[in-house]
Structure 1
Amino acid sequence: MTISMEQKQEYYEALVKKDSTYDGIFFAGIKTTGIFCHPTCTARKPKFENCQFYLTAEEALLAGFRPCKICHPMSFPHDIPEEVKQLVTAVEEHPEKRWQESDFRELGLHSATARRKFKTVYGMTFVQYARSRRMGLAFKEIENGGKVIDQQVATGYESASGFNDAFTKIMGNPAKKTAIKVLNANFISTPIGQMMSISDEEYIYLLEFADRRGLEREIERLRLKLNARIIPGQNKTNELLEQQLGEYFKKERTTFDVPLFRMGTPFQKKVWQILEEIPKGEVWSYKDIAEKLGNKNKVRAVGNANGANQLAIIIPCHRVIKTNGELGGYGGGLERKKYLLALEK
């Protein structure tokens, strides 16, 4: 959720005063050092303009910040088991890595035990932590361009290779000459969190919440399918998207007319076409959509196609619910689904 300026001032005051009543309420990302802390950290306090505030540790990680070694914000006030310290250190040494069972064995760790302890201390799975750290580095590149690598090396890292790798493995190498497409990645702020768009001068290819599980794979599939490279940059298509999303959240717009590139199977595209026919303020069930396709037994397939939608909000998969009236799943999270349905009513 968006943090208001009033809340930011309140959180900054708590940070300066080391107010323990705010521990666990927010996390402070420090732009000048690239770390994030909990409110009672004993490190020197930054200026207000050098702080970014987050409600969860995952948000701070996705923004490209790493945990402070002084206050250990993710585990406070717990003691940190040695296995967990090892894992965090290993992630920082190779932030671009996708972890396998063999990696745990190389560290001399029993993976199930280490994962369980990690979840107990940090409140998130190790896979979630490693993914958020990896994605955060790539996202930071998008926001700041190549300068972030120099900043990270200057604040304690020996090599920029991990940061280059984290970006390249997800977005592709922008210097590679064989690409037939160059796509631009941007972030769009909304009242329910940051969204990421991928576009060019002709189409919007992807619009997802930045913390969506599986987003990394979505981006890679898109890039590989189109033989594209993704680099930070603005274009007229994304400018139009930002404008229309802003109008949507202000209740000034009910439909979108940005040009979309729908990458999917013929069946998925049929489902998405029906999704776009659902009137604002209404919900249809998976069964309703299956029947419109002419086969009421396609409910599961409709659900899978709904989940494969890469153009959140614009193709309104949030308007689909279970036959029994329950909300069902949503890639952006159920709270966001509730918010969008309430907004549209």
Structure 2
Amino acid sequence: MEMNKLNEKYYEALLEKNTEYEGIFYVGVKTTGVFCRPTCPARKPKYINCEFFGTAQQALLASYRPCQRCRPLSHPNQVSDIVRLLVEAVENNPEKRWKGQDFKNLSVDESTARRQFKKRFGMTFVEYARARRMGLALKNIRAGHTVIDSQLSAGYESSSGFRDAFSRILGAAPTLLTAGNILKASWIDTRLGPMIAIGDEQSIHLLEFVDRRGLEREVERLRLRTKSAIIPGTTEPIRSIEQELTQYFVGSLTVFRTPLSLLGSPFQRSVWEQLMKIPPGETRSYLDVANSLGRPTAFRAVAQANGANQLAIVIPCHRVINSNGDLGGYGGGITRKNWLLEHEKAGH
């Protein structure tokens, strides 16, 4: 179904508080910054102020926080005390990175928390906390506002939580920026979900799906290697890659021409250069890539270099599969990998 028609259907279900749609979608309300379940008792927002998500994780990464009335992160018929306690703990300190001792301090069994969140929401508690933390930091990038405007309108009890999360994840508190190396970060919406692009005026350094596991560490490595601060904004290469991605997803582009910055070891760069030689619509095995480098025994190292790629889609690590034909791994998820391969095959 066309996306607009589907959203209209969801909005109708929201107005009717239709219980059949529980777990099918969540709605983010732009005017309040919260996300709700379809049966929320609160006054219904206008359609123009609604954003619909298939999972709670998507809503969190889009910077929405859970509604206090309908509690979208609790099962509608069975509100778990552990879930409620942990969700409230995250809201009290959304930029916190959770460790084993934190669960003990709350008298919560870590494996129980993991199991309950996984069963209810398809993600573990740690993944939930990360999505909330990332959403908070990405809010500024997603909105495309100036740093100060975003800080003032973040909608949290104080701006310090926003600054802390931004600083810890992207490496520079908005008020502490000084002249020096600066990279800019933009939010790019695609049909496979939002991506984050980071670049300077010369090239793109990182292009990843915002829900990729390990994204925070990737950004941190990039920041340290380039000795840069990262702030919201756009550059000519970012504008270029956004246009090229739009063309790629409608099937009218197969070769990306936006300048790239490949930050890796000489071996990693040699692997990435081989990946860019794989024609769209075709796949290679890790062994094939190792052979093309003249190092047939290095297929495991090739797989590691493949996983270290920070430029999704543009450096097509999705075109590398296992020798037996299985898709193998992909940072953006197997579903996306399969979609990208089918999309490229359809264009050839």
Q: Is the 8 A contact 2:185 2:230 kept in 1?
A: yes
CA shift at 1:177, angstroms?
Answer: 5.1
CA distance in structure 2 between the aligned counterparts of 1:70 and 1:200, rounded to whole angstroms:
43
- Provide TM-score, normalisation by structure 2: 0.93
Aligned counterpart, 2:102 = 103
1:220 aligns with 2:220: yes
Q: Which moved more, 1:103-112 or 1:160-169?
A: 103-112
Aligned counterpart, 2:113 = 114
Q: Is the 8 A contact 1:179 1:227 kept in 2?
A: no
Structure 1 gap ranges (5+): none
CA shift at 1:164, angstroms?
Answer: 1.3
Aligned counterpart, 1:261 = 261
1:41 aligns with 2:40: yes
CA distance in structure 2 between the aligned counterparts of 1:27 and 1:239, rounded to whole angstroms:
30
Aligned residue identity for 1:307: G
Aligned counterpart, 1:203 = 203
Q: Which moved more, 1:305-314 or 1:294-303?
A: 294-303
Aligned counterpart, 1:296 = 296
Q: Is the 8 A contact 2:170 2:219 kept in 1?
A: yes
SS of residue paired to 2:189: strand
Deviations 1:225-268 (A, max 9, x none): 11111111122111111111111122221111111000111111
CA distance in structure 2 between the aligned counterparts of 1:78 and 1:181, rounded to whole angstroms:
52
CA shift at 1:175, angstroms?
Answer: 4.0
1:164–1:3 Cα change, 3 Å: farther
CA shift at 1:302, angstroms?
Answer: 0.6
SS of residue paired to 1:36: strand
CA shift at 1:3, angstroms?
Answer: 7.0
CA distance in structure 1 between the aligned counterparts of 2:246 and 2:190, rounded to whole angstroms:
8
Q: Is the 8 A contact 1:184 1:233 kept in 2?
A: yes
Aligned residue identity for 1:85: R
1:90 aligns with 2:89: yes
Q: Which moved more, 1:130-139 or 1:85-94?
A: 85-94
Give percent identity, aligned residues only: 53
CA shift at 1:81, angstroms?
Answer: 2.4
SS of residue paired to 2:251: coil
CA distance in structure 2 between the aligned counterparts of 1:204 and 1:338, rounded to whole angstroms:
25
Q: Is the 8 A contact 1:179 1:229 kept in 2?
A: no
1:231 aligns with 2:231: yes
CA distance in structure 2 between the aligned counterparts of 1:201 and 1:94, rounded to whole angstroms:
35
Q: Is the 8 A contact 2:318 2:337 kept in 1?
A: yes
Aligned counterpart, 1:191 = 191
Q: Is the 8 A contact 1:80 1:121 kept in 2?
A: no
Aligned residue identity for 2:14: L
Q: Is the 8 A contact 2:73 2:83 kept in 1?
A: no
1:334 aligns with 2:302: no
- Provide TM-score, normalisation by structure 1: 0.94
SS of residue paired to 1:300: helix
CA distance in structure 2 between the aligned counterparts of 1:3 and 1:330, rounded to whole angstroms:
27
1:71 aligns with 2:70: yes
Aligned residue identity for 1:140: K
CA distance in structure 2 between the aligned counterparts of 1:151 and 1:299, rounded to whole angstroms:
49
Structure 2 gap ranges (5+): none
Aligned counterpart, 1:8 = 7
CA shift at 1:219, angstroms?
Answer: 0.8
Q: Which moved more, 1:126-135 or 1:70-79?
A: 70-79
CA distance in structure 2 between the aligned counterparts of 1:3 and 1:193, rounded to whole angstroms:
16
Q: Is the 8 A contact 2:177 2:229 kept in 1?
A: no
1:181 aligns with 2:194: no
Aligned counterpart, 2:131 = 132
Q: Is the 8 A contact 1:78 1:121 kept in 2?
A: no
Q: Is the 8 A contact 2:281 2:341 kept in 1?
A: yes
CA distance in structure 2 between the aligned counterparts of 1:178 and 1:27, rounded to whole angstroms:
40
Aligned residues: CA RMSD: 1.7
Aligned counterpart, 1:50 = 49
1:81 aligns with 2:80: yes
CA shift at 1:152, angstroms?
Answer: 4.4
1:326–1:179 Cα change, 3 Å: farther
CA shift at 1:110, angstroms?
Answer: 2.8
Misfit runs of 4+, over 4 Å: none
CA distance in structure 2 between the aligned counterparts of 1:125 and 1:78, rounded to whole angstroms:
20
